[in-house]
Structure 1
């Protein structure tokens, strides 16, 4: 295997199990299985199926940790193979990102002195999302004995197993089934009564046929198991295949046991190797449209591929009722909720590499639009107010209480005040349309969201008669250190943009499909009177600025706060808390992440280079990076304003967020927004890709000295575009004729011909 496609772990430390369960998670958009070691009881196993949510006794609705189908125990006589009780003679785990397969090798000396070697591989199919499988090669190194293989589906699983205050069970076991051979367990969630069936089967053959001699089946409380007994000879290899199938009542109206059983039989008949091969073919196609190649920097190469692999694993195009959560399908962190992260950080990756998935993610917002309208109504506003944290129906599910950095109870206000999510979604719609020109989507779905979010902002604006301006008060921006602020610039500027874009698009719709335009106006209760009101108001929305007009004030009164700057950094290069000199955090200018810098990246064409440079330099000294979203933004903006040294540093921080656990919480699940930020840092930052006000692709790349060559691929309006940057030239090829700008000059790239521009 090529090391540049692999994430490898060579030493075992049970204290690191949760972290590597996240890193080695295998997912396909439909489901995610955390990368647990079958032969360890230490960690936090997870089986997450997109769209399966429940509340029951939890604080809020959250993703369900479903019954665990991964349990696979080996006994030598009656001695359990347990890595935490054995002497580890050899250990290696390797995630093959090129093919989406997790390999593990263990050589263990049991307490009895017996030495057993186990080689495993596991995949969660991209070809058929309902299938997953594992292969175990078992070698009795220095003994012959009776061996037992125990296959279990465990229905005792709970959520928040590491947090006794919120320990919750989200399903009841309905039934178990003996598939003879194979087992199945059906569960049902408490609130929405979603049924889930996991079915598994283990098989082992050698040159003489079936290896197993005796089979026993049992339902043991909330667990179902089958046990196989056979005899092993010293030094001989024994191969055991485990086939798995998953279905829920979200997938079909047919009886689930019957559907799962048939699928399992078909899977076994087709065979492990065939499914693995077809799964790898899907990954080959995915990589063909998204791979980034970095020559000369192995750390950057493996890091960027890890981020793309896990983000691409977290979504698929066939279920428009689900989106990518903040921790993806990799853990219970943030309760499986969907945030603004999806549209601002993750969506661009899919827009420019896999537009069908991007469309599906936006359709999730359309399919939860009724919930957003209900949120607005409950809060006394009009239109649609998308939730800060979203689950399955678009209603607000942000917890009301959490803990601060010292473990003290603290009220969470984001669900009440972080309104900018509306504009983030609106921007995502526009970015998708701009890159794809998918008129059907904008006509039938996107325009409705743009209009209803604009209608919300119109109702949320507050008129300041004294200043003759419109304000948005008592809000939280992306910098969540400062709550209840007035006129946050990120919120206000994007609200203005949202309203303006809605007015532009409704004019476009009027020309394209007048009947649809009239239908939407009727449905949403809006007319030319409303549009005139929006236009009048948006031109008076207050944007806080410094007196010189270049430095933007993050929110009204921010510059009056105590100015404490960062002077020290830890071993990961992350800021160390400075002495607050007795002040509370919200009384200082220290920020969690940079609202102003983020705004200038989202709407880059609206700010000149000098403004970007001034704001980057000011806010960089005051940003604590207490969000994994933050470093990627500084990496991109640093390249824009010429701070190349720090840009590379921030890029490495971003791509290594989970691999080096520089936020300290990788065990909770993937930092999915950071994976999207990694791609943006590479493509928008070093690749210099942007789209100007005339919707022309711009390329202004810069690469570090350590990079010999840098290549990335994007999809622009149905054409695959490949950009390669080396020490001397920028090379661009496209499947179709396209007009581009390179370093500010106009060029035409002819289909399948290389454009070469000197750097």
Structure 2
């Protein structure tokens, strides 16, 4: 008997095993048509019949009976009471109509209207013959009756039907409950089970359950619909597939699926989001996954962005002068299109698309596309393209574009372009701003080579892009004359080839980009670079090797979690193309929205607090470079503090090219047309995030030289700023910090106040306690000579340090008798708000600030929170450390401080930031709410994949939540944390996870860790130097002479 990689197959009933789908459809039609006629007579509305394609398939097929009734009635705007499941079939309730349909269905079955799909029965027999378990999961409450009538009841080890669902309270499709229950009954892991379904809701359930394979059976010519909704393999009948085909999926297909992001249709409404998620890059530059054949329009938005490349412009908006520094959209190197004979240049928005597939491969950073188009003359053309930006050579990118005529012979004209006529147009709400950043300096070319040199019109940064074309017919190089033409800011390379049926024509486009930031002569450097490349394949193979080295470090392998595995790799991929090992040589921070778009104008916020731990563990030189970006702007931060009357360094909330504050003081409300004050720059806690990153970088790396030369100076200047901002109040004998905002942006000022800022924000003040406390640790770490030099450089003395000690011991922390850390003084006095009631009214309440303003209310007046604020303290610091700091400051916190604060604040939080559920997942886990924590974790992990903020991903990914959600796996489920030179592991894998494995580097020691529910194996891979202590569930482990230790959990 052959050995298979899967253990069970769970079948849907209707439309898969039996042809009862047509009987169901007929029963639904008879019931609904009778009801609709009656309803038309009573309401006076015209009668519209119930149809198979327009009503049965989208609203009823595959769903539990009452859900189907409700969905259809909602589509017709008919409101009926739900009723009771025992309602008489003659009663006009949702349940009554459902029971009436069931009565009709049973009658039709009794009359012999039952057809069995013989191919499915043969397939089931083959499975059983090979020892594969077989089950049925159906929404039908008649499942057992139908299987008995068909003589198939004895084939199935388990049957989970509508009756079982009702008894156990299982949710209907698209929830995966019934399929999971079938697997549970058979003792089969979900990732080793196959789901066979014919309904959209069924394949959605298969995808949602993360089963190993979802097979769609397209009985209704709905192949594409099933594919788009979660089917991995689609057939019109099970006779088309074999057990070997299923096994091959588990051998190779599943592996490929977990390393790729594929879309099988071209959806103009979703194109912007898909462009962002299909971005290719290498940390130096990123290019959105836009089509090669189109320029920016209402659907498509090509964009290329270089780390740290900004330009500042002044605009007139509603009569007011506004200055903004933008993350500049660079010249578009992608354009490549063609036309047949004297036809139109190809534009996918204007032709019939027969086949469309676009796939991003995380393993090598390549974006593949396959399209078959038909023009108005019936000519069909296969187009295949592959692009990547080299991870081996940061300035190089490549595109291979292949055209194959499928049913014609004709001249084909191909046009490649370097387009410098681009503007910043990727964010609609910025459309009133001046968006033209480039001026053309030089352009031209000869034969297969072309170049374009442009310069930003304010920052005066030169950018040169050079391109070289390789032409092939049927895989063989050819010399085809190339004509170079220019328009201002545009260089086109055009060639003509005789196209022959089924003969591929290929253009390989090699591109180099340099700027005057890194080279004095960027044009010369770009041209030299492309001259050294001999082929697309050569460059691709080099880049693939570089990616392989990266994945060896960062990959987190999850067993039994198919979608979760894909999303972890998706998020890691996007982090690597935003900041990679190349960034160790680049003067740039990590933009909150990646190198993927223009949202937040590419500025640097506090998100690095969530991002940098990944780089601390795997790419410390890149992390160091990000911190050096801040150090190089330390003088600007000092000037910013002095400008506001403070000492030390006050880093800006939004940072760009030179470190000045980029946050606007006013913003235009598009609804009212009025200018409102923007106080978000008062989030001075960004400096504390920088200090936190500096200390954690040292903890991970032990890089004392960085600390001595740069880090300590920044850290102490940040502490000096906070010390100067803390005002002593003689009445209380404590220091207060006023005029700040916490992470919760719904509260900018006190109710009725004419100026922004809040007093004694708990998160800010506790982090100030932590920073000053750590400042003395850092001073103890520094060699005496280095410490003396630093004291002299920044004019620091013991008297000032004594003042810091006094602040550390007497800083105000608003802690209630109930042990709730008040978000800021006065928060407890704000008006109460019932978020559950608002959720019932508005459904999506993530932007409660906008909802309240639309109601004529001010969010400053209410206890409603955008994201974790006070709770953010517990994300950064262990509860024990918070206790220690509070006691040191003269407070007496009780036990369960974390849990009490979580329970208090969660009910006021609307999760208006992608970071919110990320932080709450961590705190909920620590508070013991593991199920809630897991839900928040999954929602965080899916944030950009599902575009949870309703269209913002197209403007750029959210790097903070991408990194933080991946780290939750290590923090929550591996139980990984660090202290001094010790590594701690306290595994707690969720149910359904079979195991996780990953690499971690801490204080120059590297470990590979593999965790299952039963065992933990840790392998040391570093050279034999000092090994730090490793604790598993608080027990110290000893390697002895062994390379690894394996223990039972």
Q: Give the TM-score normalised by structure 2.
A: 0.69
Give secondary structure in 1 for the equivalent of 2:469: strand
Whether 2:606 is the aligned partner of 1:606: answer no
In the other structure, the counterpart of 1:258 is: 524
In the other structure, the counterpart of 1:518 is: 788
TM-align CA RMSD: 2.2
Label 1:535 to 1:489 Cα distance change in 2 as closer, same or farther (>3 A). Answer: same
In the other structure, the counterpart of 1:396 is: 661
1:412: Cα distance to partner?
5.4
Cα deviation per residue 1:396-442 (whole Å; 9 max; x = unaligned)? 11122335695765545445411111111011011111011111111
Rg (Cα) greater in structure = 2
Q: Which moved more, 1:154-163 or 1:445-454?
A: 154-163
Answer yes or no: is the 8 Å Cα contact 2:940–2:965 preserved in 1: yes
Label 1:528 to 1:577 Cα distance change in 2 as closer, same or farther (>3 A). Answer: closer
Whether 2:538 is the aligned partner of 1:274: answer yes
In the other structure, the counterpart of 2:5 is: none
In the other structure, the counterpart of 2:1031 is: 741
Label 1:137 to 1:96 Cα distance change in 2 as closer, same or farther (>3 A). Answer: same
Q: Distance in 2 between matches of 1:196 and 1:147?
A: 32
In the other structure, the counterpart of 1:639 is: 925
Q: Distance in 1 between matches of 2:603 and 2:271?
A: 24
In the other structure, the counterpart of 1:677 is: 964
In the other structure, the counterpart of 2:447 is: 180
Give secondary structure in 1 for the equivalent of 2:578: coil
> 1:84-103 to 2 correspondence within 5 Å?
84-103=349-368
Greater RCO (CA < 8 Å, at least 6 residues apart): 1
1:752: Cα distance to partner?
6.1
Cα deviation per residue 1:245-280 (whole Å; 9 max; x = unaligned)? 000001112x2222111111112x2x2212111111
1:596: Cα distance to partner?
1.8
In the other structure, the counterpart of 1:595 is: 869
In the other structure, the counterpart of 2:772 is: 499
Q: Distance in 1 between matches of 2:900 and 2:681?
A: 32
In the other structure, the counterpart of 1:451 is: 716
1:147 to 398, 412, 421: 412
1:573: Cα distance to partner?
9.6
1:744: Cα distance to partner?
2.3
Cα deviation per residue 1:200-222 (whole Å; 9 max; x = unaligned)? 12211247954463321111122
In the other structure, the counterpart of 2:327 is: 63
Cα deviation per residue 1:602-632 (whole Å; 9 max; x = unaligned)? 0114147721112222222221111111111
1:574: Cα distance to partner?
6.3
Count of residues in Structure 1 that have an aligned counterpart in Structure 2 = 750
1:82: Cα distance to partner?
1.3
Answer yes or no: is the 8 Å Cα contact 1:632–1:680 preserved in 2: no
Q: Distance in 1 between matches of 2:847 and 2:714?
A: 41
Give secondary structure in 1 for the equivalent of 2:269: helix
Give secondary structure in 2 for the equivalent of 1:80: coil
Whether 2:403 is the aligned partner of 1:138: answer yes
In the other structure, the counterpart of 2:935 is: 649
Q: Distance in 2 between matches of 1:352 and 1:572?
A: 42
Whether 2:633 is the aligned partner of 1:364: answer no
Which runs of no fewer than 5 residues in structure 1 stay unpaired?
Answer: none
Label 1:431 to 1:709 Cα distance change in 2 as closer, same or farther (>3 A). Answer: same
In the other structure, the counterpart of 2:978 is: 691
Answer yes or no: is the 8 Å Cα contact 2:652–2:681 preserved in 1: no
1:679: Cα distance to partner?
1.8
Q: Distance in 2 between matches of 1:13 and 1:278?
A: 33
Answer yes or no: is the 8 Å Cα contact 2:592–2:604 preserved in 1: yes
In the other structure, the counterpart of 2:835 is: 566
Q: Which moved more, 1:625-634 or 1:35-44?
A: 35-44
Answer yes or no: is the 8 Å Cα contact 1:735–1:751 preserved in 2: no
1:25 to 279, 291, 304: 279
Label 1:334 to 1:570 Cα distance change in 2 as closer, same or farther (>3 A). Answer: farther
Cα deviation per residue 1:16-67 (whole Å; 9 max; x = unaligned)? 1111111011121111111111134432221111121111235321211111
Answer yes or no: is the 8 Å Cα contact 2:331–2:420 preserved in 1: yes
Cα deviation per residue 1:519-550 (whole Å; 9 max; x = unaligned)? 221221211111111111221111111213x3
Give secondary structure in 1 for the equivalent of 2:570: helix
In the other structure, the counterpart of 1:160 is: 425
In the other structure, the counterpart of 1:11 is: 265
Label 1:601 to 1:573 Cα distance change in 2 as closer, same or farther (>3 A). Answer: farther
Label 1:331 to 1:444 Cα distance change in 2 as closer, same or farther (>3 A). Answer: same
Whether 2:551 is the aligned partner of 1:287: answer yes
Which runs of no fewer than 5 residues in structure 2 stay unpaired?
Answer: 1-252, 316-322, 749-756, 884-894
Q: Give the TM-score normalised by structure 1.
A: 0.95
Q: Which has the higher strand share?
A: 1
Whether 2:568 is the aligned partner of 1:304: answer yes
Q: Distance in 2 between matches of 1:82 and 1:416?
A: 44
Cα deviation per residue 1:427-464 (whole Å; 9 max; x = unaligned)? 10111110111111111111111111111111111112
Answer yes or no: is the 8 Å Cα contact 1:323–1:364 preserved in 2: yes
In the other structure, the counterpart of 1:487 is: 760
Give secondary structure in 1 for the equivalent of 2:491: strand
